[in-house]
Amino acid sequence: MAEAQNIPVGSTTAGQIAVAAESTVATRMSAPPSFDVQDFPVPHGREEEWRFTPLERLRGLHDGTAVATGDGLKVDIDAPEGVVVETVGRDDARLGKAGVPVDRVAAQAYSAFEKAGVITVPKETVLTEPIRIAVHGEGGTSFAHQVIELGAFAEAVVVLDHTGDAVLAANVDYLLGDGAKLTVVSVQDWDDKAVHVAQHNALIGRDATFKSFVVTFGGDLVRLHPRVTYAGPGGEAELFGLYFTDAGQHQEHRLLVDHNTPHCKSNVAYKGALQGEGAHAVWIGDVLIEAKAEGTDTYEMNRNLVLTDGARVDSVPNLEIETGEIVGAGHASATGRFDDEQLFYLMARGIPADEARRLVVRGFFAELVQQIGVDDIEERLLVKIDEELEASV
């Protein structure tokens, strides 16, 4: 079933830290970052960054055969007053500032998009309502680029909602000015056939706070690559994720937090439930603490709950530390089964089997769901979880 490591919560520099000697964040990618797709060889599947991904299901996004079909996506943006919403050409200076594509599909997306979206929250603007970006797939193939920029001390919540059917490769940039606070909820609620591969780059300003929820339910193949770097000290990143992987689905979340600046914090918590034959979840949690990043405080955690036979989890936390002058660093990964004994215990208290399963899964996700803070999204998630569970009975 699962490759699971169990490392105690609260590990610090003095405790247990797994450093993968032969495979490091810097060396494991088969090519250095680049905006140009030609700089990346076509992957064959044995590369470290592709070894878990079924390339044959990428619909050509990785080998140059995928071609944009036009009108593949319908994008509706609902932004409160004070927010600037623009569509810009490829030469706009704000594109690509938050990060450089690190694999061939991200570079393909950068090389192929025609127009990009830029949403700006001016400095010191504090929004009380979320910015909603509804991306609905109309069945075609698309390459996209979206920038969300917050000026200094601006505060905003952004909901990026993906539905419908699409083959989509995208880059999303989050630029946080000094002292800015951004919460992003990215929901992947695709139809069954959708393929979605995206790199999310967050560049966190001095004393800025970035909170991200990645919620993946749908799609045939979803592969997301959230990355965080810091532009100044005092930055904080909280990266939360939930996924519910069903029969036949491949859902892959590959995170990198690059502590490249002193006195920054990061906290990563991803939780997934899996059920059904061929359900495959992949979680890669890379945290790099560079030599100059003294005073770093970081923790990352991945938990998986396997509900049936036939599902597979690959969970790989990887913490690399180049300085000992840090506040704390730890990681944990565990994959557990909702087992027959738990089911028996709950049923022996009169709770029917389907309700017992719902109780456990809702409970498993609750601590993350409750932190989202966007009511309609929280409610939709709970409904979604129930639907997924009903589909399995």
The footprint of other proteins (CB under 8 A) covers: 305, 336, 340-342, 344-353, 355-356, 359-366
Length of the chain: 393
Q: Partners of 319 in the beta sheet? A: 287
Q: Are 270 and 299 in contact (CB under 8 A)?
A: no
Taking the C-alpha atoms of residue 190 and residue 164, their distance in angstroms, rounded to an integer, is 5
Q: Are 345 and 368 in contact (CB under 8 A)?
A: no
Between 30 and 342, whose beta carbon lies closer to other proteins?
Answer: 342
Between 8 and 350, whose beta carbon lies closer to other proteins?
Answer: 350
Q: How far apart are the first and last CA of the chain?
A: 21
Between 1 and 344, whose beta carbon lies closer to other proteins?
Answer: 344
Quote helix, strand, coil % in the chain, to nearest 5. 15, 40, 40
Which H or E element spans position 356?
Answer: helix 353-369
Taking the C-alpha atoms of residue 306 and residue 278, their distance in angstroms, rounded to an integer, is 12
Between 362 and 380, whose beta carbon lies closer to other proteins?
Answer: 362
State the nearest-atom distance from the C-beta of 347 to other proteins, in Å: 4
Q: Are 32 and 38 in contact (CB under 8 A)?
A: no
Taking the C-alpha atoms of residue 161 and residue 109, their distance in angstroms, rounded to an integer, is 19
State the nearest-atom distance from the C-beta of 202 to other proteins, in Å: 29
Between 21 and 348, whose beta carbon lies closer to other proteins?
Answer: 348
Between 283 and 364, whose beta carbon lies closer to other proteins?
Answer: 364
Between 362 and 384, whose beta carbon lies closer to other proteins?
Answer: 362
Q: Are 238 and 368 in contact (CB under 8 A)?
A: no
State the nearest-atom distance from the C-beta of 212 to other proteins, in Å: 22
Taking the C-alpha atoms of residue 280 and residue 250, their distance in angstroms, rounded to an integer, is 5
State the nearest-atom distance from the C-beta of 246 to other proteins, in Å: 20
Number of C-beta neighbours around residue 197 at 10 A: 25
Residue 381 CA to chain centroid, in angstroms?
A: 16
State the nearest-atom distance from the C-beta of 306 to other proteins, in Å: 13
State the nearest-atom distance from the C-beta of 343 to other proteins, in Å: 8
State the nearest-atom distance from the C-beta of 300 to other proteins, in Å: 19
Between 8 and 89, whose beta carbon lies closer to other proteins?
Answer: 8
Taking the C-alpha atoms of residue 79 and residue 75, their distance in angstroms, rounded to an integer, is 13
Between 14 and 348, whose beta carbon lies closer to other proteins?
Answer: 348
State the nearest-atom distance from the C-beta of 354 to other proteins, in Å: 10
Q: Which 3 state secondary structure label does DSSP give 285?
A: strand
Position 155: which residue type?
A: E
State the nearest-atom distance from the C-beta of 198 to other proteins, in Å: 29
Q: Are 79 and 131 in contact (CB under 8 A)?
A: yes
